[in-house]
Amino acid sequence: MAPLHPRPPPASMSRIREVWANNLDQEIAALRDTMDQYNYIAMDTEFPGTVARPIGSFKTSSDYQFQTMRCNVELLKVIQIGLTLCDADGNFAPEPCTWQFNFRFSLNEDMYAPDSIDMLRQANIDFARHEEFGIEPNDFAELMITSGLVLSDDTKWVSYASQNDFGYLLKVLTAAPLPAVESEFHDLLKIWFPNLYDIKYIVRSLKPNTKGGLQDLAEELQVVRHGPAHQAGSDALLTAGTFFKVREILFPNEPLDNSRFSGHIYGISGDANFMPTTSGNSASPVVPQHNAPLHTPGIYPGAPNMSAYIYGR
């Protein structure tokens, strides 16, 4: 059987540069050179689903959502990170304007939710190539930390309902467990991403009755998708176009109010309308895929203010 090699992207995805271990250095360098003029960065990730839920008592829904994100980010590995660069007026960087970083992921070794993997397969994510040619997280982190994209007041990060996205990105960049307390997580976000905007948080703050996800909002605003949905590069590109369309419509004569919107992530920003909640063993148990490290439902202890994590959806 002939050895696998990363394939060039189809012509329809020329805006999106595929990045594997073999071209990581040169593409981070290209991204770094581009960001001098295009300092708005739209970000999306693909990850292997949700395999655990926290149980116990929680002060708010925000706390529950945060602990759910935290336990899954700790257990799982990121599969893709997509970054799209634009300038302050919403102009995309010259092609490629988007970099899709493909990380090492093994269906034989790593934990995942089968339904999420099925969805990613339908989006044409090639897991054999991820296992063979995927980027090691430490290699990505080392180059990103010295790139100027993070830890900088000059960059503006754009996302959509991005608690998981930034959870995985922080895990990769810090090579450390996420903070156990939500407020400390936000403090860490502020250090790494001083200017951060979550489209869903902005839209729901101003138009609470807005329904649907990123694709629904993009279609309503007539923002065209490039590339397949549920791939991080395509989703980052759609996120960028949607953000600037939202800004044009909701803030036609004024800039975004940083004090109101910067640093807030939908679902874990401690909004006043989040009420206390208790989670019991109500999640439907899910036995992880037979070839994942964990073979039976179990617990993941150690979080404050909760007795355990249960595996389920």
pLDDT in tens, the chain (313 residues): 444 444 444 434 589 999 999 999 999 999 999 999 999 999 999 999 999 999 888 989 999 999 999 999 999 999 999 999 999 999 999 989 999 999 999 999 999 999 999 999 999 999 999 999 999 999 999 999 999 999 999 999 999 999 999 999 999 999 999 999 999 999 999 999 999 999 999 999 999 999 999 999 999 999 999 999 999 999 999 999 999 999 999 999 888 888 899 999 999 975 533 333 444 433 333 333 333 333 223 333 333 333 344 443 3
First-residue to last-residue Cα distance in the chain = 39
pLDDT at residue number 309: 46
Are the beta carbons of 266 and 200 closer than 8 angstroms? Answer: yes
Give the rounded distance of the alpha carbon of 204 from its chain centre.
19
How many angstroms separate the CA atoms of 199 and 156, rounded?
A: 13
pLDDT at residue number 122: 97
What does residue 54 show for φ and ψ, rounded to 5 degrees?
A: -75, 150
Burial of 177 (0-12, 13-18, 19+ CB in 10 A): exposed
Q: Tokens in use for 147?
A: 């790139």
Following DSSP, what letter does each residue of 138-193 receive, concatenated?
HHHHHHHHTTTSSS-TT-EEEESS-HHHHHHHHHHHH-SPPPSSHHHHHHHHHHH-
How many angstroms separate the CA atoms of 299 and 313, rounded?
A: 14
Contacts of 126 (CB under 8 A, 6+ apart): none
Are the beta carbons of 40 and 88 closer than 8 angstroms? Answer: yes
What does residue 35 show for φ and ψ, rounded to 5 degrees?
A: -70, -10
pLDDT at residue number 275: 37
* HSE value, Cβ hemisphere, 13 Å, CA-based, for 264: 19
Residue written as token pair 């991080």: 232
Give the rounded distance of the alpha carbon of 245 from its chain centre.
21
pLDDT at residue number 13: 56
How far CA 118 is from CA of 16, 52, 105, 124, 261, in Å, comes to 23, 18, 15, 10, 35
Predicted TM-score (pTM) of the model is 0.85
How many angstroms separate the CA atoms of 69 and 232, rounded?
A: 18
